[in-house]
Structure 1
């Protein structure tokens, strides 16, 4: 690769939880080595079809290969589908003349891992969740270049690097921009502010509890910004948008850094990105893990809760009564909120994107100083 630009293929998609770190890694690579050729690989049905080109990166797609968890017709079709996707992935790697393949998990990553392994192309993996997904559990057997957002992630060779995130969040100074962020979001500067979000798709149970808790929150002088999720607006009996004193609802906010800066308390699910961003910026949080799935969201939050940077409440226990007994007093306790903020920030990692870029360069045997390769990586599993 001497005298040639580094070529990096990044695999991942489907959800923002995969796409956001992928884009953060891509930006960090380009910031450090602007001449790098970067290609993202996803599927035609994922959010990446809009987000990746909008971020200024090229996107290729392969067929989506779901991994059935129980006997079914899809399980019988899996070998053929996977084989076809691996061929598609291999063609993309060959055309890109990839020096390294980076995967962040999800359906699209497995074919890329297998195709890269067949070609002797180094593989770098980033796992976002404390409980790793199937794609990265398989991929981690093929490489020693494995990174994790959480220090308790059970993957071979895993290094704790944190969660790659947008620099606007990683470098956020909440105190410096709080008033401006509140003005931008329609919040008053002097009142306790609770900001509620269930993620891009919303959270019906959280929305319902907040709706029923508005009288208690208003009586306590708390203002609420409620990010309901697209199509999840709360309506009153007449079918109009729910309204109450000190309460404002929106479907979406473009720029979570404003949310983190404006909130005295953030109420959210404990997805991996949310937990890591809460720690990075130092915002007190109440986390309500998804009540279904494999329990990964509770595991994601465990370290932050143990450090007293966040409060965890089970979905079934997050009721208007809990809001009155626990959340309202928290919002009225500046000293506790300050301690939570400090504890969260002490746990946060703000340069995970740069750490991942360095791992990618190392795996590829790429010297930024010499703009070339030192040869095939001798640590890649054979």
Structure 2
């Protein structure tokens, strides 16, 4: 493995593949490393099936592929086949780290991070970042032998945890929604003046959200509310048009989240750690619908914004077209309430988390 020496550009390897919730903070960190140390080399680890194959090259970073190690939640036959899979993946990951001359490995959890941690152990310094209050298996393992452990929120049960927040893209943390509003509305073919609801359910969409909001399309149109709805690339959404009303615009995926946030007055979405951090950072009032699976971390992610008066929370099972009509439409239509909730979001979170983590990473690489 490489040892960082004075005068030589450090090589930072980021492991955050699979979902946007793991990849986006890894890329925000990568951008911050390049700002603080332009000479640094940043390489991303991923697998053939992850979203990183689209997102990482688009952001200008090399992507090295390794075999995935799925992490089953329960004891199954798959769990007992893990040792062989782990050994093979760790071997190939170690070869990648040697090839690129890694000086530090930064993991963000998930099935790409586990082999990265095991391959780097005892050879390359490790920095762990955990976005959720309930750490996953990979980060629980990695934190045991990491040089530094960074977390998004207090009381995260990892050893020697330092609270830094979640690294976010500068296009998000520096976003001036008011200044971009007209451009954003035009970009998505939205009504330039109507109160507008942004809807999305994570990178793959969410059926319950799609069904509830599209089912209230007539009520939204009658209330004079425009909608920008990202339904997911594997889903379809057919919405009746209502002439003379603000348009309801369905799209498979939002490549320009900065413009989507700028176009909206209120957002209805899941509350993954990354999403909750971004929504708060841009000061967008939210109706969070936590994913009903897992260990309840999405409800935990939403709670600070709800407690601050910047968001509402609705259980997935309770989200129906009638609930949209009863709860969401009155909110979006109330400009005074929207402004108050937006003000409540200002000051939440850690807007400099990307550079704080980048300094930790560069220090660990020395």
Q: Does 1:180 align with 2:178?
A: no
What is the rounded CA distance, in whole Å, between the counterparts of 2:254 and 2:277 in structure 1? 19
Q: Secondary structure at the match of 1:132?
A: coil
Moved more, 252-261 or 157-166: 157-166
Superposed counterparts of 1:166-315, under 5 Å: 166-235=169-238, 242-244=240-242, 245-246=245-246, 247-315=248-316
Match of residue 358 from structure 2: 357
Cα deviation for residue 153 of structure 1 reads 2.7
What is the rounded CA distance, in whole Å, between the counterparts of 1:203 and 1:298 in structure 2? 16
Q: Secondary structure at the match of 2:121?
A: helix
Q: Structure 1 regions of 5+ residues with no counterpart?
A: 236-240, 366-382
Change (3 A) 1:224 1:53: closer
| Contact 2:147–2:364 (CA under 8 A) maintained in structure 1 | no
Cα deviation for residue 94 of structure 1 reads 2.1
Match of residue 21 from structure 2: 17
Q: Structure 2 regions of 5+ residues with no counterpart?
A: none
TM-score, normalised relative to structure 1 = 0.89
| Contact 1:279–1:349 (CA under 8 A) maintained in structure 2 | no
Q: Secondary structure at the match of 1:196?
A: strand
Of 60, 65, 71, the match for 2:64: 60
What is the rounded CA distance, in whole Å, between the counterparts of 2:155 and 2:195 in structure 1? 34
Deviation per CA, 1:131-179: give whole Å up to 9, x if none.
2211011111112511122334332222222221221111001122212
Change (3 A) 1:170 1:134: same
Q: Secondary structure at the match of 1:140?
A: helix
What is the rounded CA distance, in whole Å, between the counterparts of 2:126 and 2:21 in structure 1? 20
Of 35, 43, 48, the match for 2:47: 43
Q: Does 1:86 align with 2:87?
A: no
Match of residue 162 from structure 1: 165
| Contact 2:217–2:240 (CA under 8 A) maintained in structure 1 | no
Cα deviation for residue 337 of structure 1 reads 1.1
What is the rounded CA distance, in whole Å, between the counterparts of 1:332 and 1:298 in structure 2? 25
Deviation per CA, 1:1-47: give whole Å up to 9, x if none.
12211111111201111111111111111121111122211112212
TM-score, normalised relative to structure 2 = 0.93
Q: Secondary structure at the match of 1:5?
A: coil
Q: Secondary structure at the match of 2:198?
A: strand
Cα deviation for residue 51 of structure 1 reads 2.1
Superposed counterparts of 1:141-156, under 5 Å: 141-156=144-159
Q: Does 1:30 align with 2:34?
A: yes
Aligned residue pairs total 359
Of 107, 110, 116, the match for 2:111: 107
Deviation per CA, 1:193-223: give whole Å up to 9, x if none.
1111112211111111112212222222212
What is the rounded CA distance, in whole Å, between the counterparts of 2:24 and 2:304 in structure 1? 22
Moved more, 308-317 or 57-66: 57-66
Match of residue 143 from structure 2: 140
What is the rounded CA distance, in whole Å, between the counterparts of 2:349 and 2:298 in structure 1? 17
What is the rounded CA distance, in whole Å, between the counterparts of 1:303 and 1:25 in structure 2? 24
| Contact 2:269–2:288 (CA under 8 A) maintained in structure 1 | yes
| Contact 2:21–2:274 (CA under 8 A) maintained in structure 1 | yes
What is the rounded CA distance, in whole Å, between the counterparts of 1:252 and 1:12 in structure 2? 20
